[in-house]
Amino acid sequence: MSKYWNERVQRLEPYVPGEQPKDKKYVKLNTNENPYPPSPKVIRAIKEAADDRLRLYPDPEAEQLRAALADHYHLSPAHVFIGNGSDEVLAFSFMSFFSPEKPVMFADITYSFYKVYADLCALRPEIIPLDEAFRIPVQDFCRPGGGVVIPNPNAPTGRGITTESIRKILEADPDRVVIIDEAYVNFGGTSVVPLVKEYPNLLVVQTLSKFCALAGIRVGFAFGSPELIDGLNRLKNSINSYTIDRLALTGARAAVEDLSYSRHMAERVITTREQAERSLRELGFQIIPSESNFIFITHPDYEAEQLFNQLKQKGILVRYFHQPRISNYLRVTIGTDNEMNQLIAAMKKLLNH
Ligand code: PMP
């Protein structure tokens, strides 16, 4: 605490990102990064853009990138908003669409940044418990309220929700905004971007961080009705007009124009995930069905926290959450085949198999 902090900052409980360790080289399976490099076309485009044009501000409207995304999804650029990573898009969305008078609903086990944004905006979250198998209880999200946020697939469980269920939640109260966070949708889920023309209260948030292996350039998007996108622009232009730098804009556009590369890499991740799931089940792990580039695992005979610490000592980083209901789970990002083999070999030793 500091006497210089205002009351708002004193009250904050900031999000804690997964470790980016500097002490030694780890097999890093803790922050859901893509194990493969971005498209070579992205690297080339960024290198070519690194010249004296950097003295100029970037395009505040990100027009070319929005046009490329709109093209891909058969929308108009008026349906697209670009942010500095989807975390920024989510923060702007909480600030733009939710109010303290009515509760904003999200699950008890979900991306922990939602609670941080809700507190930052002095909102009243209504926390909806997932069922015993960590599925979204759709009926509970159909109650009227001030807004809904659901990742599809959910994090850290990896479980998806059907398009039919999302439609039900959207239709239950057309006066509130429903945010579907599709950070991981390209690893086996089904996107609801095509629904944005049908539902003016739907905002779909995506990122280049995972699918396009570009966590390092920080680009995220939102797709929604022009009125939602206008709201986000009003807010953005009241904070910082130039949220995306020139190199990121150029790289992002190259990535969107080469999505077949990312699809190919995502196929590899999915194949590796299925193989890792089989091996971990043989060791007695239980695994939540995943549509994502990570798996959520628990073992009936071994404590997750202890396994987390033992793996770290062996140079393998996974993610552990000290949180009710999931304190005996580990979230493991899918790495390369070689990285997953190292994880499984380490687990075999720890479990005396
Ligand atoms: N949503 C979810 C569910 C996530 O797990 C993450 C990554 N931590 C994000 C959004 C944010 O991703 P980024 O800011 O890199 O786009």
Pick left, alpha or beta for residue 284 (phi over 0 → left; psi -120 to 50 → alpha; otherwise beta): left
Q: What is the pLDDT of residue 274?
A: 98
Tokens of 220: 């995220």
One-character DSSP codes across 106-172: EESSS-THHHHHHHHTT--EEEEPP-TTS---HHHHTS--SEEEEESS-TTT-----HHHHHHHHHH
> What atom in ligand 1 is closest to the CA of residue 210?
15
Which residue minimizes the CA distance to atom 4 of ligand 1? Answer: 183
Distance 342 CA to ligand 1 centre (A): 26
Closest atom of ligand 1 to CA, residue 86: 16
- In 3D space, the residue among 108, 77, 136, 55 whose CA is nearest the CA of residue 256 turns out to be 77
Centre of ligand 1 to C-alpha 292, Å, is 13
Q: Out of 3.30.479.30, 3.40.50.150, 3.90.1150.10, 2.40.10.10, which CATH number does the structure's domain 7-37+260-350 have? A: 3.90.1150.10
Three-state DSSP class for 92?
helix
Mutation pick for ligand 1 pocket among 87, 150, 293 (CB with most ligand atoms within 8 Å): 87
Distance 54 CA to ligand 1 centre (A): 28
Residue 37 alpha carbon to ligand 1 centre in Å: 18
Q: What is the DSSP string of 232-263?
A: HHHHHTTT-S--S-HHHHHHHHHHHTTHHHHH
Structure token pair of residue 290? 């995943």
Report CA(151)–ligand 1 centroid distance (Å).
10
| pLDDT on residue 24 | 80
What pLDDT digit, counting tens, does each position of 36-72 carry?
999 999 999 999 999 999 999 999 999 999 999 999 9
Q: Any residues with Cβ below 6 Å from ligand 1, and which?
A: 85-87, 111, 151, 155, 181, 183, 207, 209, 215, 220
Peptide bond into 156 cis (omega under 30): yes
| pLDDT score of 191 | 98
Q: Which CATH class is domain 40-258?
A: alpha beta
Residues of the chain with CATH 3.90.1150.10: 7-37+260-350
The answer to whether residues 125 and 105 touch, using CB atoms and an 8 Å cutoff, is yes
Show pLDDT as tens, one digit a residue, over the chain (353 residues): 899 999 999 999 999 888 888 888 899 999 999 999 999 999 999 999 999 999 999 999 999 999 999 999 999 999 999 999 999 999 999 999 999 999 999 999 999 999 999 999 999 999 999 999 999 999 999 999 999 999 999 999 999 999 999 999 999 999 999 999 999 999 999 999 999 999 999 999 999 999 999 999 999 999 999 999 999 999 999 999 999 999 999 999 999 999 999 999 999 999 999 999 999 999 999 999 999 999 999 999 999 999 999 999 999 999 999 999 999 999 999 999 999 999 999 999 999 88
Q: What pLDDT sits at residue 4?
A: 97
pLDDT tens digit string along 237-270? 999 999 999 999 999 999 999 999 999 999 999 9
Look at the pTM and tell me if it is higher than 0.95: yes
> How high is the pLDDT of residue 196?
98
- Residue 220 Cα to ligand 1 middle (Å): 9
The DSSP result for 28-56, as a single string, is E-SS---SSPPPHHHHHHHHHH-SGGGGS
The confidence score (pLDDT) of residue 222 equals 98
Q: How far is the CA of 183 from the centre of ligand 1 (A)?
A: 6
Please work out, in degrees rounded to the nearest 5, the angle formed at the alpha carbon of residue 278 by the alpha carbons of 309 and 110.
Answer: 55
Pocket test for ligand 1, best of 82, 111, 184, 211 (most atoms within 8 A of CB): 111
In this structure, the residue with its CA closest to atom 12 of ligand 1 is: 86
Query: What ligand 1 atom has the least distance to the C-alpha of 215?
Result: 15
- pLDDT value at residue 353: 82
232 CA distance to ligand 1 centroid (A)?
18
| Cα 142 from chain centre | 23
Residue intervals of the chain classified under CATH 3.40.640.10 are 40-258
